[in-house]
């Protein structure tokens, strides 16, 4: 009886599939098939965008800090996606963060999509254009506490600025 019980326990243990050693892979929305309203081939994006716009918007690169012409822009208007012209941010939501990239405390709702980015070894919230999927930057929880508390840290090269009509 004891040998049969021991044999039954061993078979039960061997038959169990442990998952503690399995590699867990976080799936991001970019790895899933997403159909954007504006979809182009890589060659079409390369032909339409400057080299820097292409690398930031299509390859998720980051421009150098303090290099954007839009960093010190104080005009009233709308910041749009440089790839597809979707309105993304309003000038009244822009603030000086001191980080070297244009920063906003909120987006134009529905025009910015979010994903998780692990490129530097920990999770960050990546922002991209909801219309064409172009990489914009990241959002952090260290923005102005008197508004949303968010800091949308955006690559200036990913944006075009359209001043308000006076």
Q: Do 59 and 51 meet the contact criterion of CB atoms below 8 Å apart?
A: no
C-alpha 13/C-alpha 27 separation (Å) is: 31
**Nearest Cα to 139, choosing from 79, 99, 87?**
99
* CB burial of residue 131 (10 Å; 0-12, 13-18, 19+): buried
Query: By three-state DSSP, how is residue 119 classified?
Result: coil
Q: Do 132 and 83 meet the contact criterion of CB atoms below 8 Å apart?
A: yes
Q: Do 75 and 163 meet the contact criterion of CB atoms below 8 Å apart?
A: yes
Q: How many CA atoms lie within 13 A of 5 on its CB side?
A: 2
Instruction: Clarify whether 153 is annotated catalytic.
Output: yes
Selected catalytic residue, list 84, 129, 132, 153: 153
Positions annotated as catalytic residues are 153
């Amino acid at each position: 009886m004891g040998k049969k019980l021991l044999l039954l326990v061993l078979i039960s243990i061997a038959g169990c599939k442990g998952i503690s050693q399995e590699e867990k892979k976080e799936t991001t929305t970019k790895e899933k098939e997403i159909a954007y309203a504006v979809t182009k081939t890589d060659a079409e994006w390369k032909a339409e965008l400057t080299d820097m716009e292409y690398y930031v918007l299509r390859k998720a690169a980051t421009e150098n800090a303090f290099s954007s012409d839009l960093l010190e822009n104080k005009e009233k208007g709308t910041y749009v996606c440089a790839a597809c012209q979707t309105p993304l941010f309003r000038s009244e939501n822009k603030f000086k963060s001191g980080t070297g990239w244009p920063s906003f405390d909120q987006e134009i709702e529905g025009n910015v999509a979010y994903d998780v980015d692990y490129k530097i070894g920990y999770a960050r919230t990546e922002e991209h254009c909801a219309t064409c999927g172009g990489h914009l930057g990241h959002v952090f929880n260290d923005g102005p506490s008197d508004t949303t508390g968010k800091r949308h840290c955006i690559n200036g090269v990913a944006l075009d600025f359209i001043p308000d009509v006076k």
